[in-house]
């Protein structure tokens, strides 16, 4: 898929599943579970042991079900390795302009992290496709409304503390999508191999976003 198609699909789904796991094998299983629940964009973080292998496996074996991305990317070397492994989008908790530049060079979706108005605008002006507001719970949905007052053109993505209870508030406050980690991927369910629970949660998050967008 072309970059434009990847971005369009991420925005359409409205949810990015953030996957942190104890192994690459578990990360792949989680990716499939959330995809079965209708969440196609899956961010495998670099904190997963064997993250590159997980990205490669998902990109090859689940290509029809998952749009795989790399998360917690801090530098250009990691971004390039992730892209070569098959990542279609790159997410960072920080604003590293060189990472944005590299992703643009490879024509991949880039979602850098920022928080202050200056950081957010800088990220957007330098080519961010979406700006990840992290940690989102610090300012909450009201912060998104405040930012969108003077900067309505910027696509904002809340990450950190997004739940089924506040997801709709973020969407109604102007978020283009949400990113969800531990509140979607239940650690107990993973430990017990009950991946159907994760699929059920994925469905709930999709429904919340869809409903919020229509009201």
Closest CA to 57 of 27, 96, 88, 18: 27
Residue 61 makes CB contacts below 8 A (sequence gap 6+) with: 28
Q: For this structure, is 101 an active site residue?
A: no
pLDDT at position 13: 98
Other CB atoms within 10 Å distance of the CB of residue 127: 13
pLDDT digits (tens, 9 = 90+) for 128-142: 999 999 999 999 999
CB 68 within 8 A of CB 42: yes
Give the separation between CA 90 and CA 73, rounded to whole angstroms: 7
Confidence (pTM): 0.97
**Residue 123: which H helix or E strand, with range?**
helix 117-125
Closest CA to 177 of 138, 123, 129, 122: 129
**Residue 45: which H helix or E strand, with range?**
strand 41-45
- Average model confidence (pLDDT) across the chain: 97
Fold of the domain spanning 3-214: TIM Barrel (3.20.20)
Q: Which tokens in the block code for residue 81? A: 């390795």
How large is the average pLDDT for residues 91-95?
A: 98
Closest CA to 43 of 143, 212, 155, 177: 177
pLDDT at position 23: 97
Q: For this structure, is 57 an active site residue?
A: no
pLDDT digits (tens, 9 = 90+) for 69-87: 999 999 999 999 999 999 9
Give the separation between CA 34 and CA 180, rounded to whole angstroms: 11
State yes or no: pLDDT of 1 exceeds 90.
no
Catalytic residue among 40, 56, 108, 132: 132
Give the separation between CA 196 and CA 183, rounded to whole angstroms: 15
**What SS3 state is found at 181?**
coil
Other CB atoms within 10 Å distance of the CB of residue 47: 11
Catalytic residue among 40, 43, 56, 57: 43
pLDDT band per the 50, 70, 90 thresholds, residue 215: confident
């Amino acid at each position: 898929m072309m970059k434009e198609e990847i971005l369009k699909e991420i925005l359409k789904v409205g949810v990015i599943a953030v996957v942190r796991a104890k192994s690459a094998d578990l990360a792949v299983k989680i990716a499939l579970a959330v995809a079965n629940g209708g969440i196609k964009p899956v961010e495998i973080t670099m904190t997963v042991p064997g993250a590159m292998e997980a990205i490669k496996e998902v990109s090859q074996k689940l290509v029809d079900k998952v749009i795989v991305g790399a998360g917690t990317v801090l530098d250009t070397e990691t971004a390039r390795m992730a892209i070569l492994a098959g990542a279609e989008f790159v997410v960072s908790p920080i604003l590293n302009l060189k990472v944005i530049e590299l992703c643009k060079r490879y024509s991949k979706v880039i979602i850098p992290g920022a928080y202050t108005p200056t950081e957010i605008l800088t990220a957007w002006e330098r080519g961010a496709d979406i700006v990840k507001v992290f940690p989102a719970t610090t300012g909450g949905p009201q912060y998104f409304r405040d930012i969108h007052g003077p900067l309505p053109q910027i696509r904002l993505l809340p990450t950190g503390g997004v739940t089924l209870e506040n997801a709709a508030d973020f969407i109604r406050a102007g978020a283009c999508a949400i990113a969800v980690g531990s509140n979607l991927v239940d650690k107990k369910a993973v430990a017990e191999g009950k991946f159907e629970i994760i699929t059920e949660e994925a469905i709930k998050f999709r429904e919340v976003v869809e409903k919020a967008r229509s009201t």
